[in-house]
């Protein structure tokens, strides 16, 4: 899909491409999602809320987290979603971790892998087990500012526009075909924290829609 934002959202503070479909696509059965998260879990909760409201026809089968202190585990508990800790420090390699992730996802009959603040590089092991069914959200308008501290990167570069991107996951960090993007203006006086907070608001809007669009079978 196009990576150039072209549609102004209803609140006029962001630009989303492609436009948010209303309603979202429907499926023969709910999409079975497995969430990978390392931290706060706000995107996981936004997806759960979209499901509860009937916006997204899906169910979260399991949340896998790698940080024992990750707040996402508490969010999952509140939503009565199973959660599994796979501490990456307990695995000899990234491939070994991904093998265990796959076993867990398969045990919960997951169709789509949704990375929501997953701070670990994945390997061909995971990508190969779920071809074209692993999505990630990144807080920049890719291909600009991949990697960590994207909002800080944007400010240092003097960018006038920042945003977020949902994309298919490939081996190269923050690469892969783009599903949906949202752009937000960089305001005078912005800090990395204030800019990131506005970007995150748009992440919560576009991720459920991007999941639905990605799951639509090709014509």
Q: How many domains, in total, are found in the chain?
A: 1
| Owner of token pair 């931290």 | 39
Tens-digit pLDDT profile for residues 34-46:
999 999 999 999 9
The pLDDT score that the predictor gives to residue 219 is 81
Catalytic positions, please? 138
**What is the average pLDDT value for the chain, to the nearest integer?**
93
CA–CA separation, 103 vs 58, rounded Å?
21
Where residue 209 sits, what CATH number does that domain have?
3.40.50.170
H or E element at residue 97:
helix 94-107
208 lies in some domain: yes
The pLDDT-based confidence of 218 (bands split at 50, 70, 90) is: confident
Inside any domain, residue 58: yes
* Antiparallel, parallel or unpaired: β 15-17 and 83-85: unpaired
For residue 2, tell me if it sits in a domain. Answer: no
**Quick one: 61 exposed, middle or buried, by C-beta within 10 A (0-12, 13-18, 19+)?**
buried
Per the domain annotation, does 1 fall within a domain?
no
Count CB-CB contacts under 10 A for residue 76. 25
200-210: burial string, b at 16+ Cβ within 10 Å, e else: bbbbbbbbbbb
Contacts of 38 (CB under 8 A, 6+ apart): 65, 66, 67, 70, 72, 117, 118, 119, 120
Task: Tell whether the model's pLDDT for residue 9 goes beyond 60.
Answer: no
- Percent of the chain at pLDDT > 90 equals 92
Question: Residue 188's beta-bridge partner residues?
Answer: none
Q: Tell me: pLDDT of 5 over 50.
A: no
pTM for this predicted structure = 0.92
pLDDT for 71-103, tens place per residue? Answer: 999 999 999 999 999 999 999 999 999 999 999
User: Residue 209: which domain range?
Assistant: 7-215
Q: What are phi and psi of 29, to 5 degrees?
A: -150, 160
119-147 pLDDT, tens digit each: 999 999 999 999 999 999 999 999 999 99
The pair of three-digit structure tokens given for residue 186, joined into one six-digit string: 């960089």
Predicted pLDDT at 2: 35
Is residue 144 assigned to a domain?
Answer: yes
């Amino acid at each position: 899909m196009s990576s150039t934002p072209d549609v102004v959202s209803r609140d006029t503070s962001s630009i989303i491409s492609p436009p948010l479909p209303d309603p979202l696509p429907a499926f023969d059965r709910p999409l079975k999602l497995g969430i990978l998260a390392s931290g706060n879990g706000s995107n996981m909760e936004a997806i759960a809320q979209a499901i509860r409201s009937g916006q997204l026809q899906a169910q979260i089968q399991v949340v896998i987290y790698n940080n024992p202190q990750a707040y996402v585990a508490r969010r999952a508990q509140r939503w009565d979603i199973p959660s599994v800790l796979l501490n990456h420090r307990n695995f000899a390699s990234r491939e070994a971790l991904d093998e265990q992730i796959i076993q867990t996802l398969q045990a919960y009959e997951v169709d789509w892998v949704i990375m929501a603040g997953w701070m670990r590089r994945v390997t061909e092991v995971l990508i190969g087990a779920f071809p074209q069914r692993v999505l990630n959200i990144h807080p920049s308008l890719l291909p600009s500012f991949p990697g960590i501290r994207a909002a800080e990167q944007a400010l240092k570069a003097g960018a006038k526009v920042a945003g977020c991107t949902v994309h298919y996951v490939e081996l190269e960090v923050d690469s892969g075909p783009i599903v949906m993007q949202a752009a937000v203006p960089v305001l005078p006086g912005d800090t990395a924290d204030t800019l990131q907070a506005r970007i995150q608001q748009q992440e919560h809007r576009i991720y459920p829609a991007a999941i639905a669009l990605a799951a639509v079978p090709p014509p």
